[in-house]
Amino acid sequence: MQETATVKHPLNLEGVEIGKVVDFDAASDQLYPFNLTASNTELSPEVLADTAVFSDWISGHLANANARYGIGGYDEHRTIYARSHHFDSEEEPRRLHLGVDIWGPAGTKVYNFYDAVVHSFKFNDHYGDYGATIILKYVVKGQVFHALYGHLSLASLTGLQVGQKMAKGKAFATFGIPEENGHWPPHLHFQLIFNLYTAKGDYPGVCQFSKKSGFLLNSPDPAVILKHTFKGGLI
């Protein structure tokens, strides 16, 4: 997830003070890089079929690594989505991940990294879906983009209003439990999106591999934001 000097990010945030997305202390906290592709043979169908077992697998790796969070997933071709019909289609299943996942305990606070307004929110209550979801709209140096925060607690949606101002640094959400987050191990799906088209409270976080180029252009690497949270970590 490191940005290289030869790749120019479509968002110009030079000179902009970006805040944190989750709490992280580089002096004491560790990040664990998760690989959720087919090359990880630990992810058997039995592990993926049972959310409790999958959750134990995630938390076990974090505990063994003494890591506060697990992280990864942008532009990752994953097999884990076979656990849910939500990602199926007749022509081609969706398997390419468009955001970054931050794995950690339910109840983990989520912070707004820059002044924003609430674009939309929704409880996407299907097995394998986002569960509670919030989309914030940002205007930074004249650039308009959005951030989707998925797999939140249902309480995170309480009191929200479309158009509501959200200050930089505000703790506005928490990681949800499986029953509220689409039946996944607790984590945050964090995704940047330029054009939401008509979408409200939802936008694909996983696309068909054949449509990769277009979706990645519209959802650039969130490392440009997350590197400020995990400075000294893996980002």
The span from the CA of 99 to the CA of 101, in Å, is 7
β partners of residue 133: 122, 150
The backbone torsions φ and ψ at residue 161, rounded to the nearest 5 degrees and listed phi first, read -140, 140
Q: What is the pTM of this model?
A: 0.93
Q: Are 3 and 227 in contact (CB under 8 A)?
A: yes
Phi-psi map region of 183: left, alpha, beta (phi>0 left; psi -120 to 50 alpha): left
CATH 1.10.760.10 for the 31-229 domain, yes or no: no
| Residue 12 to residues 7, 141, 142, 224, Cα–Cα distance (Å) | 12, 8, 10, 9
pLDDT in tens, 64-73: 999 999 999 9
pLDDT in tens, 103-126: 999 999 999 999 999 999 999 999
DSSP β-ladder status, 131-140 and 171-174: unpaired
Domain ranges in the chain are 31-229
pLDDT in tens, 150-171: 999 999 999 999 999 999 999 9
Which residues 6+ apart lie within 8 Å of 71 measured at CB?
1, 31, 32, 33, 34, 100, 101, 102, 103, 226, 230, 233, 234, 235
Q: Which two tokens stand for residue 216?
A: 């990645």
Q: Which two tokens stand for residue 32?
A: 């664990």
Listed as ranges, residues in the chain with pLDDT below 70 are: 1-7, 90, 232-235
Per-residue model confidence (pLDDT) at position 2: 44
